[in-house]
Amino acid sequence: MKKTLKPGYKGYKSYDYLTPGDDYKVFELAAEGNEFEEYIIPLTDEQEAFYEKVVKDNLMISLHEHPFCFPKNISETFEYAREGRSFTAYKALAESNWDCVFDNMMDGCCVITSKHGWKWNDVVYDLGMRLADIAHQDFLIKCEKVDDIFRAKKEGKIAWVPVIEGAAMLENEVDRVDILYGLGVRVMGITYSESNGLGSGLKEPNDGGLTYFGAQVVERMNKVGMAIDTAHVGDRTTMDIIECSKKPVFCTHTGARALWNSKRLKPDEVMKACAKKGGIIAIEAAPHTTITEKNPVHNIESYMEHFEYVKDLVGIDHVSFGPDTLYGDHVELHHVFAANLSIKQAFGKKKDDGSHDFPEVEYVSGIENPTEASYNIVRWLVKHGYSETDIAKVMGGNTIRLLKEVW
């Protein structure tokens, strides 16, 4: 496979308009690429030619990423996050197949003023810093409407969609939905893993469902044109959201609980309800999420086993990909931020002593970061005989259909 840079990329690096050391604290960052050994799925010459055609002729959209570089020393992430300045991996993104990336910011790691995160000022600070950087370059197009995605494809650039994973920072102010929309946010989760004033998160032992205020927020998001994400939401609350929303909703990064008993993954009935309303379930690849009894070692094969299960369950028109990857040591990040990311409560436990009964990987082979994910998802589909029509649907077409209805 020949790697090339998108023609719209001209070499900009994050915060090039500032002076390192004077204007901001310098951290040694992870590589804009693979921190670990790269793995590219091999194809025959015929398959390679088909792969190149599919990527060239069709939209490639990732519904959930964190496409910036974390510190090389991941233990510095708390300090790095407090500075409020994330460094987008422009060059690595330019080497990817993605035409549109849904960027979920620092979110669970956004601890600028609070060790627990999810404060209004922190979220706006994080968003504003990223917007300032985006405004000084022209490779990422701030995506506010569907046409921006098609324009990015045509110009050899990437449409950048800012996303907030949970709505705790709304507190009891429904008008903050409008403010975030005005700042460019086009997708927001109702809860992160913990409960908030809108409803129950997936880590809670009891799910109380969508609150009255949560229903108000759903209604406002429908009115303003902001898509709803249910990836970190409890099962009952998710069902309530699907019923309450007049528009289809996303589950931007999850998998099938039927394949692995983890709260982080969705049960069949929830995914069916999402699809019946016109929604999309996108498959997650953060470390140790989409594993299975057949493939307990997390890699591209276990990831795609979840894809095929969900595809068979709800149909090819209601499934896509939200890898949830980043540039840096994702496994160690989960260790460092275990409490903020609700790792203990959200991930499946199997043994009596509460430990996992699957091997912890150093990295998720074949889908380690946004760039590698953009190659191997398509290559896996090509290798396994998927048609161009079906690849086009799951890589971007399904998402465009939903966005046209919601945005």
Nearest-angstrom CA–CA distance, 324 and 230: 14
Backbone angles phi, psi at 68, to 5 degrees: -135, 170
Of the candidate CATH numbers 3.20.130.10, 3.40.50.880, 3.20.20.140, 1.10.357.10, the domain formed by 45-406 belongs to 3.20.20.140
pLDDT at 327 over 80: yes
The pTM is what? 0.95
Q: What percent of the chain is modeled with pLDDT above 70? A: 95
202: phi > 0 → left, psi -120 to 50 → alpha, else beta; which?
alpha
Task: Please state, in angstroms and rounded to a whole number, the distance separating the CA atoms of residues 163 and 185.
Answer: 5
Locate 320 and state its tokens.
């896509």
DSSP 172-226: T-TTHHHHHHHTT--EEES--SS--SS--BTT-SS-----HHHHHHHHHHHHHT-
Residue that has been written with the tokens 């190659």 in this structure: 375
Query: What angle in degrees, to the nearest 10, is found between the helix axes of 300-314 and 268-276?
Result: 60
Contact criterion met (CB below 8 Å) for 340 and 77: no
Closest residue by Cα to residue 120 from 66, 185, 59: 185
Q: Give the domain ranges of the chain.
A: 45-406
pLDDT digits (tens, 9 = 90+) for 109-126: 788 888 888 899 999 999
**Residue 345's pLDDT band (cuts 50, 70, 90):** low
Q: What mean pLDDT is reported for the chain? A: 93
Q: Which residue has the tokens 């809670």?
A: 204
Express each pLDDT in 208-244 by its tens digit.
999 999 999 999 999 999 999 999 999 999 999 999 9
Nearest 5°: the CA angle 184, 117, 166 is 50
Contact predicate 343/289, CB 8 Å: no
**What pLDDT does 111 receive?**
85
| pLDDT tens digits, one per residue of 40-99 | 999 999 999 999 999 999 999 999 999 999 999 988 988 998 999 999 999 999 999 999
Residue 355's pLDDT is what?
54
Q: Which amino acid, one-letter code, is at 336?
A: V
**Position of tokens 């990817």?**
96
Helix ranges, 337-369 (H): 343-346
Q: Which residues contact 100 (CB under 8 A, 6 or more apart)?
A: 59, 60, 61, 62, 143, 149, 152, 158, 159, 160, 161, 396
> Residue 15: which region, alpha, beta or left (left: phi > 0; alpha: psi -120 to 50)?
left
Q: How far apart are CA 70 and CA 56, in angstroms?
A: 30
